Amino acid sequence: MCGIAGFFHTSGAGPAGNRMAAQARAMAAALHHRGPDANGAWSDEEAGVALGHARLSIIDLSPAGAQPMVSSCGRFVIVYNGEIYNADELKRDLATAGRTEFRGHSDTEAVLESCAAFGVRATLEKSVGMFALALWDRRDRCLTLARDRLGIKPLYWGEQNGVLLFASELKALVGHPAFRAEIDRNALAAYLRYNYVPAPASIYKGIGKLEPGCLVVQKLGDPARIERYWDLRRIARDGQANPLALTDADATDKAEALLRDAVGRRMISDVPLGAFLSGGIDSSLVVALMQAQSERPVRTFSIGFAEAAFNEAPHAARVAQHLGTAHTELTVTPDQARDVIPQLAEMYDEPFADSSQIPTFLVSQLTRQHVTVALSGDGGDEVFAGYTRYPWGELLRRRTGSVPRPLRLAAARLLGGLSEDNWDRLLSPLPAGWLPSHPGQKVRKLADVLSLPDDMSLYRRLVSAWGAPEKMVSGSRETPTAAWDDTVADDVPQFLERMQLLDTLTYLPDDILAKVDRASMAVGLEARVPLLDHRVVEFAWQLPRAMRLRGNQGKWLLRQVLYRYVPRGLIERPKMGFGIPVGQWLRGPLRDWAEDLLSRHALEDSGLLDADVVRDAWRRHLSGNRNMATEIWTILMFQAWHRHWMTEASQAA
């Protein structure tokens, strides 16, 4: 795992005197946390291109794996972030083309030589892994940028002042003289809805995120061309139209073989390796398949909290004991968790407000003390229908669709008449298995969605923090995402599957994977996600719904595989999530910090947010009548980001 950065003067030569190499090296230095083992740069002043790289050595620790790397034919230069798990297969293909000599055994070299022999697109289409790369063609003076199929690895890019800039993180772009730090109000409005800035936008005008499964081709003097080499919408459409005809036993056998291979490939490493373990379905399955393929106890890591509602550590410990892993657990104090907050604006260098970023960083920090690579269970919920909002959302759509709107509005007013805390108390006598986590919050969402007109509006509300963000940001028009594209219904007519698809296109890469990438890379830890092997994703979309969701139980097929390794009694419990008690903290120990960022002066100083709306939400949260922790946290993370990065940008200017 590494960090990449660079630039291309699209109209011709850049500054002479090795200044371009120095600029690329400085950009890579801003990514030192991603690649603390080495820093390299390559430039061609006449062509106007420079590439920078910060290296975290995982495969081939020798200088033979150093980047930027020049192909054996001398034509291509690459900087690359990620891991290709079938590099040996790429090398076998190269051998048939007569390329049998390699300087080392890094996957970087396999990718580079494959691009030189077979082309970039052909190489990407046969690669299994996670990656973001930049490839310079010295002969044709052409730069290609590419990102993996599911968006596991990040890649920002855009043209400013005649220079195409790219990097793994925005902080690497800030120091380049062509970069201009102007906030995109439309992207800010979208951020307020989703808690993250959705692709293809970024928080800055002129800079965006390359979408998963895409590549960019930029030739000298030509406009950039974006191509899609892997299309999840097409895969979902075709898979649902032609489902596999498998018995339950056959499907379980096939899933186990595919997942075992995906996990096994991700255990290849020249440095110590372990896994995150929460004790839930996904992480337990990954660890079980690791342990089944390991001759020694797998290193597993989890964190716990004093608050029982947020503490998964005992569940993880029981799974670890059953599987025989070498388990390490850290009980995090509230002070330790709160101490992370001042680091978040630097770590997530565009606004990002998923509060599970804090425990994700803490478990990454713990894990990095012992290993350099960790496998994670992320992706199972999106791919195998694990979120409770899937069956709940479809039930809502069915039940409310036939009810006249005036009746729905009346029901919404009735449900909204009690605070979330009062609903929690009212529903507390019911058996735990009957209730989702935070039932009062779910009732409030139910009240909110009862009056919505259609499926896509319902989906957007289910995933929204602020429901009308354009009213919060003056002069904005919310950047649309796939969630606004009604044609998605043509590809995937069933609402539940459509929610899965939309989550995999948006929430997964822009929230879940971005969170894990920044938190793990902040401490120089490589996180690998076997459940997002594209072969697993393609297989899942070919399954009938009942093999993903049976009754109201999501991830049905993953559970069947896991039961072969872990007794169901150890893992069957209500879904908890991976969070912290933000709402309580904002009324208590974080109140002074929040008051500073949410003061009228601070809000008006940015000139971007409606101070009256924010202050009213803050007062309502403090009163206890409504838990607005999600909405408030979204504002706080933007305010903290703005104070950190825009102040720095104005000083640099």
pLDDT in tens, 219-254: 988 999 999 999 999 999 999 999 999 999 999 999
Res 364: pLDDT: 97
Residue 458 confidence (pLDDT) above 80: yes
Residue 387's nearest CA partner among 553, 627, 506, 236 is 553
Residue 77's beta-bridge partner residues?
70, 136
Provide the pLDDT for residue 448.
75
C-alpha span between 21 and 35 (Å, rounded): 18
Contact 176, 169 (CB under 8 A): no
DSSP string for 610-623: -HHHHHHHHHHHHH
- Sign of the dihedral defined by the CA atoms of residues 538, 539, 542, 548, in that order: negative
The whole-angstrom separation of Cα 64 and Cα 512 is 33
* Sign of the CA dihedral with 232 first, then 115, 81, and 376 last: positive
| 283: helix, strand or coil | helix
Lowest-pLDDT range of 69-78, 200-209, 234-243, 452-461: 452-461
**% of residues, the chain, pLDDT over 70:** 96
Confidence band, pLDDT 50/70/90 cuts, at residue 615: very high
Backbone angles phi, psi at 184, to 5 degrees: -90, 105
Which residues fall within 8 angstroms of residue 587, CB to CB, at 6 or more apart? 621, 622, 624
The mean pLDDT value of the chain amounts to 92
Question: Which of 198, 125, 83, 7 minimizes the C-alpha distance to 535?
Answer: 125
| Domain boundaries, given as residue ranges, for the chain | 2-230, 234-384+506-570, 389-491, 582-652
Q: Could you tell me which residues come within 8 angstroms of residue 107 by beta carbon, excluding any fewer than 6 positions away?
A: 59, 83, 84, 85, 87, 129
Per DSSP, the three-state class of 202 is coil
User: Higher confidence at residue 195 or residue 395?
Assistant: 195
- Residue among 270, 294, 295, 275 at smallest CA distance from 285: 275
For residue 649, name the pLDDT band (cuts at 50, 70, 90): low
- For residues 350 and 369, give the distance between their C-alpha atoms in angstroms, rounded to a whole number: 27
pLDDT in tens, 101-147: 888 889 999 999 999 999 999 999 999 999 999 999 999 999 999 99
Record the tokens describing residue 392, joined without a space. Answer: 């709940």
Mean per-residue pLDDT, 18-40: 93
Q: Number of helices (H) and strands (E), helices first, in the chain?
A: 30, 19
Residue 284 three-state SS: helix
The yes-or-no answer on residue 73 being catalytic is no
Choose among 141, 156, 126, 316: nearest CA to 229. 126
* Contacts with 403 (C-beta within 8 Å, 6 or more apart), sequence order: none
Pairing mode, strands 299-305 and 326-332: parallel
Distance from C-alpha of 500 to C-alpha of 494, rounded to nearest angstrom: 10
Query: How many CA atoms lie within 13 Å of 600's alpha carbon, on the beta-carbon side?
Result: 3
Superfamily the domain 2-230 falls into = Aminohydrolase, N-terminal nucleophile (Ntn) domain (3.60.20.10)
**In CATH terms, are 2-230 and 234-384+506-570 the same topology?**
no
- The architecture of the domain spanning 234-384+506-570 is 3-Layer(aba) Sandwich (3.40)
> 578 pLDDT band (50/70/90 cuts)?
low
Q: Which amino acid is at 171?
A: K
Band of pLDDT at residue 309, cut at 50, 70 and 90: low
| Separation between Cα atoms, residue 239 and residue 231, nearest integer Å | 12
